[in-house]
Amino acid sequence: MNTPPLHGLITATFTPMNNDGSLALNRIPAYADFLVKNGISGAFVNGTTGEGSSLTQAERKAIVEAWVSAAPPELRVLVHVGHNSLDEARDLAVHAQQIGASGFAALAPSFFKPGSVESLVATCEHIASAAPDLPFYYYHIPSMTGVSIPCLDFLKAAKDRIPNLRGIKFTFENLMDYLACLRFEDGRFDIVFGRDEALVPALAIGAQGAIGSTYNFLAPPFQEAITAFRSSDLPAATAHQSGINEVIDVMIRHGGLPAGKAIMSLLGQDLGPVRLPLKSVSGTAMDQLRTDLKLVSFP
């Protein structure tokens, strides 16, 4: 497949919601413009950050349609279709191809988990074959799925079985496996890094593209870190990463994903609440979040 690799920062998007929890699709055009102005090259829709597993099938399709409609040509739209039901995942894949998305991805089922490389490859093969003309990425995120099969083993077994396999969204800390995947068959696959707090180390071993949630609100300092790294100024790059990680630490201490969504409102992008079982940040908790962010010079 001759599609270009994913370069630069790709944002794992939040799902805009109204206060009653319904979708706020009308906020996506302004959201897309905001990302483009911050130098973002793609939107990864309906993933972990987008609460994809908490959405209905119809909602997931409506969100993708809104993003494909709103995104300018320079913003590639990648669709997460992963589901515990593989038939539902295939249905989402067909939809992504039909409406003109740039690519699609799927994480491993997390209830009945693939217990071997063969099982994981067969699962991805079944999903990917539903949209054969669209680049497919395996979404490796052991912290959420509990599936920690080495990605190098996956590539070795999948390379000749999944014709539209383009690469991996690698959301894990194992940089040895990450490097091995980058170098596999002379860089045949697009291995996109997914741990925001370790982007500079990933750049040092060859990362070219990254997908993450904090690029929603930390794109400018991340761009500065990338510029410094490419200018061979490693001390400056690591200093930027350190400052970024202070903000990420605040976000984690305030609940992680819900706090990230709340931070967007401080930048003029009100994306609404999160869905249960997550808990939105509000009231005095929001006041404390603002205070703690100011202590690390953000925004």
User: Which residues are catalytically annotated?
Assistant: 139, 169
Q: Do 264 and 286 touch, CB atoms closer than 8 A?
A: no
Backbone dihedral angles phi then psi of residue 133, each to the nearest 5 degrees: -95, 5
